[in-house]
């Protein structure tokens, strides 16, 4: 029996899979649950979406418990889900006997402690980004997982499960595009709420492209620079929108991220990879990667926000997580790990510093445990 399977604790014996596949040691018939009972912490927009997702579209799982600071909202949601109950606190939910795995969708300032509590309870956890509010806290989660001897943490960078992102990743890894020198990213929103300051453009928007760098290239960012053009007419006072971030990776590749969060037109994310054997583009409202070797064309509509664009990716992410919990591996193959969450946190911190610092700002990365 492998380590992760030993550490996953089914709640009752009559829920085991009678014909479970053999693991690496050749043992079969492990008491792994056929249905994962998920506890959801936080039932705001993302949490409520996940409850609906698991209840309606995810196989092998159901929501057994929810908790939220606004108990009435949690109760209303629980009443709509058969077999779901409300618990008073996140700590109670994590410790509950009827919760096999935890999905964290609470405000980011609570993620570190809640993720560590899941590790200590030896329960798999899918934590929406950010893993923590700063690199030190994110690293504490990495160290806690290392100390546990298992793998429990997945971080909710859902773009890794988007069909176009996955296809582009495969094209890069296969060598189809040749040597990659530059990646150009674009992140656009129709509008932002009042008070959406420059640092939020980094932590709420650019963080996705930052994780995409690590996902596509399998290497760390070593420095980042911010370029602040003339703000557009819809930018709030003091807000630098649009904004351009430049990232340099360990091998010398450059990644650009154009952030424009008040376009008044809709939600768009695009990625263009410049390779020596081809240029590939995703995010143009097409269903497959467009590679410009001898020309190309595309077209499509612009959604109002991120949910229509990435609903399938969210579904695929949660389904893959549930499958990983069921087979005892806990973390799906494409999932962002606690280490990826830490890399995103420390790169975001450098990008925030770059907003008020001329030139490139180094990204400080602690040793990987």
Give the range of the structural domain holding residue 265, as residue numbers without chain letter. Answer: 163-306+345-362
Residue 243 lies in a domain: yes
Coil vs helix vs strand at 97? coil
- Indicate if 153 and 15 belong to the same structural domain: yes
Rounded average pLDDT over 1-24: 34
- Interval 221-266: pLDDT, tens: 999 999 999 999 999 999 999 999 999 999 999 999 999 999 988 8
Residue 368 lies in a domain: no
- Indicate if 119 and 65 belong to the same structural domain: yes
Mean pLDDT score across all residues of the chain:
88
- Interval 131-153: pLDDT, tens: 999 999 999 999 999 999 999 99
**How many domains does the chain fold into?**
2
Enumerate residues 6+ apart whose C-beta is below 8 A from 198.
Answer: 238, 239, 240, 243, 355
- Indicate if 175 and 279 belong to the same structural domain: yes
- Indicate if 356 and 207 belong to the same structural domain: yes
Rounded average pLDDT over 344-360: 98
Quote the CA–CA distance of 123 and 216 in Å, as a whole number: 29
Whichever domain contains 83, its CATH number is: 3.40.50.720
- Indicate if 97 and 187 belong to the same structural domain: no
- Indicate if 204 and 125 belong to the same structural domain: no
- Indicate if 190 and 302 belong to the same structural domain: yes
- Interval 78-111: pLDDT, tens: 999 999 999 999 999 999 999 999 999 999 999 9
- Indicate if 205 and 354 belong to the same structural domain: yes
pTM: 0.86
Residue 217 lies in a domain: yes
Q: Is the Cα torsion angle 6, 7, 11, 17 positive or negative in sign?
A: negative
- Indicate if 24 and 121 belong to the same structural domain: yes
Whichever domain contains 302, its CATH number is: 3.30.360.10
- Indicate if 181 and 318 belong to the same structural domain: no
Residue 367 lies in a domain: no
Give me the residue label for tokens 């606690």.
338
Residue 193 lies in a domain: yes
Where would I find the beta strands (DSSP E) of the chain? 36-41, 61-67, 85-86, 101-104, 125-128, 153-156, 180-188, 221-227, 243-249, 254-260, 268-275, 278-282, 290-292, 361-362
- Indicate if 211 and 316 belong to the same structural domain: no
Q: Is the pLDDT of residue 169 over 50?
A: yes
């Amino acid at each position: 029996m492998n380590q992760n399977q030993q550490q996953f604790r089914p709640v009752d014996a009559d829920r085991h899979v009678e014909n479970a596949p053999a693991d690496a040691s050749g043992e079969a018939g492990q008491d792994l649950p056929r249905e994962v009972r998920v506890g959801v912490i936080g039932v705001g927009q993302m949490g409520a979406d996940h409850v609906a997702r698991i209840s309606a579209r995810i196989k092998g799982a159901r929501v057994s418990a929810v908790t939220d600071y606004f108990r009435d909202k949690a109760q209303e949601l629980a009443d709509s889900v058969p077999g779901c109950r409300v618990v008073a606190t996140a700590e109670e939910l994590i410790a509950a006997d009827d919760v096999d795995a935890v999905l964290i969708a609470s405000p980011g300032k609570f993620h570190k402690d809640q993720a560590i509590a899941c590790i200590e309870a030896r329960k798999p956890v899918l934590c929406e980004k950010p893993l923590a509010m700063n690199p030190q806290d994110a690293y504490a989660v990495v160290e806690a997982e290392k100390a546990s001897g298992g793998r429990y943490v997945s971080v909710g960078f859902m773009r890794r499960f988007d069909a176009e992102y996955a296809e582009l990743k495969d094209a890069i890894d296969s060598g189809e595009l040749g040597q990659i020198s530059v990646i150009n990213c674009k992140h656009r929103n129709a509008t932002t709420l009042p008070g959406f300051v420059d640092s939020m453009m980094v932590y709420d928007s650019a963080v996705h492209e930052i994780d995409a760098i690590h996902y596509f290239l399998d290497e760390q960012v070593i420095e980042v620079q911010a370029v602040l053009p003339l703000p557009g007419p819809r930018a709030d006072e003091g807000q630098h929108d649009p904004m351009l971030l430049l990232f340099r990776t360990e091998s010398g590749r450059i990644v650009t991220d154009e952030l424009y969060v008040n376009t008044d037109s809709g939600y768009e994310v695009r990625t263009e990879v410049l390779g020596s054997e081809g240029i590939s583009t995703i995010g143009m409202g097409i269903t497959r990667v467009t590679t410009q070797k001898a020309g190309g064309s595309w077209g499509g509509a612009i959604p109002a926000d991120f949910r229509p664009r990435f609903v399938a990716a969210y579904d695929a992410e949660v389904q893959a997580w549930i499958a990983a919990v069921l087979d005892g591996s806990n973390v799906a193959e494409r999932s962002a790990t606690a280490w990826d969450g830490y890399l995103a946190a420390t790169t975001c911190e450098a990008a925030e510093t770059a907003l008020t610092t001329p030139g490139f700002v180094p990204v400080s990365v602690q040793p990987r445990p």
